[in-house]
Amino acid sequence: MTQLIVPDMGGNSQGEVIEILIREGENVEQEQSTLVLESEKATIEVPANAAGTVKKLLVSIGDKFSGGEAYAELDVVVVDSVAQKPVTKAIVESAVEPVVAAKQPNQVPAKIGTAPIPTNSNSSDTTAYAGPAVRKLARELGVELQQVTGTGLRGRIQKEDVQQYVKQHLNVGSIASGALPTPPEIDFSQFGPIHTEALNSIKRATAKAMTVANLNVPQVTQFDEADITELEAFRVQQNQRFAADGLKFSLVPFVLKALARCLRDYPEFNSSLHRNAEQLILKDYVHIGVAVDTPKGLLVPVLRNIDNKTTTQIHQELQNLAEQARSGKLSLADMQGGGFSLSSLGGIGGAAFTPIVNPPEVAILGLSKARMQPYWNGSQFVPRLMLPLSLSYDHRVIDGAQAARFSQRLVAYLQDIRQLLM
Ligand code: CAO
């Protein structure tokens, strides 16, 4: 049998027992923290000077020790000399302002016997005011206790303080590294019955792409309206003309035809920002992706070299690609290489919407449902068919004035498509 002995507190210092970390019958390893003593200028964890089983505790909370006193009897496994064993964990706090932990462990004058308190620069936690369980938790989580604000009595660090610190640190760290803090997971079943459905691959890919787009592209949407009364009359006329061939044009091919011309007029709308953010990559081709609503989700096949095609060819190609999209026959290549996108909700309804730019493209046009509206022509209100346009653009590449000009040019072409001949 041997005794666990309080090490020398140094000089005339006395320490009061504020925590007892071992119990009778418990196995203790050498160096394991057994007591926490609090003196005027330090809180000290007392390491076991021997290993064994605690036979009898000789200590109570509030006892005062100055060093050399026995505080437990041990059935010995290994014995070591007290005098040879330095205290490995001294927790120093200012005597004047105990809530604030001392910042300079190297300046601590306390000694155990003749051995100085270790001043290992890696163990900066020695200046924090915390109990062993909290220290253990901090070590497991890799937290430097000096960084943690204690909310316990006289600033003592609690487990909750460490946990809170980790939470904050994770959030800050993830923001700094470019990732977003995720919303909390909620158990919705607490509010009522629920069921789950797996997202198919198209919806998962869309979710990912939209997140990437919204996080990376500072977007603005420019709204406009085009008077398509004449265009609509022309469309109806052409539908009658081509009815025998089984062709039925919607508005979309006409808009695509005008868009292709606008992209030639304003090439920066058919560009991509280089990853180095120092160069603009301008495309000499005009490929436009058209959003197609399919039973499985949104797909965006690309119409290529659209500026060289007639409206009839554009119509046929769109019909063909939309059909393939809806029957799941599009290949990956069919959806790659677009320089600009069009999203038409005109066949469904709605006044306006803000389409999301599809990077690496820098702009997208949204079409909403054309409606007959009273239009002031300078002397009276006349009924005109107005088409709502929503042009979203990457504000890193495109200025608001450019967007307004682009949009107005499109309006001009749609209001008088003869201009496309020029
Ligand atoms: N205003 C008024 N009517 C319109 C219109 C508009 N802007 N656009 C289309 N229409 C009419 C068409 O002329 C057609 O009417 P008729 O049969 O009387 O001629 C009817 O609406 C059906 O149009 P549609 O939408 O089926 O066909 P479309 O050629 O206009 O569009 C396509 C093709 C592929 C764009 C469309 O079918 C589609 O999938 N749209 C959804 C796109 C989508 O989901 N976008 C959201 C993506 S998230 O940003």
Q: Residue 189: what residue type?
A: S
pLDDT in tens, the chain (422 residues): 899 999 887 767 788 888 888 999 999 988 888 888 877 666 678 889 999 999 999 999 889 998 899 999 999 865 444 444 433 333 333 222 222 222 233 333 222 222 222 323 334 455 677 877 888 888 888 888 888 888 877 788 888 888 888 887 776 555 556 667 778 889 999 999 999 999 999 999 999 999 999 999 999 999 999 999 999 999 999 999 999 999 999 999 999 999 999 999 999 999 999 999 899 999 999 999 999 999 999 999 999 999 999 999 999 999 999 999 999 999 999 999 999 999 999 999 999 999 999 999 999 999 999 999 999 999 999 999 999 999 999 999 999 999 999 999 999 999 999 999 99
Task: Tell me the CA–centroid distance for residue 317 and ligand 1, in Å.
Answer: 15
Examine residue 360 and say whether the peptide bond preceding it is cis (omega within 30 degrees of 0): yes
Beta-bridge mates of residue 218? none
Pocket lining: 203 vs ligand 1, CB cutoff 6 Å: no
**Measured between alpha carbons, how far is 358 from 211 in angstroms, rounded to an integer?**
10
Strands 371-376 and 280-282: unpaired
Residue 395 falls in the annotated catalytic set: yes
3-state secondary structure 84-133: CCCCCCEEEECCCCCCCECCCHHHCCCEECCEECCCCCCCHHHHCCECHH
Global pTM? 0.64
Q: Cβ contacts of residue 335 below 8 Å, gap of 6+? A: 289, 299, 300, 301, 302
SS3 421: helix
CA atoms of 126 and 117, how far apart (whole Å): 10
Q: How many CA atoms lie within 13 A of 265 on its CB side?
A: 19
164's enclosing H/E stretch is helix 159-176
The per-residue pLDDT for 81 is 44
Tokens at 276, concatenated:
């180095």
- Within its chain, how far is the Cα of 204 from the centroid? 17
For the Cβ of 344 lying below 6 angstroms from any atom of ligand 1, the answer is: yes
What 3-state class would DSSP assign to 96? coil
Owner of token pair 């006409």: 254
349 exposure class (CB count in 10 Å sphere: 0-12, 13-18, 19+): exposed
367 lines ligand 1 (CB under 6 A): yes
Cα of 418 vs centre of ligand 1, distance in Å, is: 23
Beta bridge mates, 419: none
DSSP for residue 101: B
Atom of ligand 1 nearest to the CA of 290: 35
Write down how long the chain is: 422
256 lines ligand 1 (CB under 6 A): no
Say yes or no: CB of residue 42 within 6 Å of ligand 1.
Answer: no
**Distance in Å, CA 17 to ligand 1 centroid:** 80
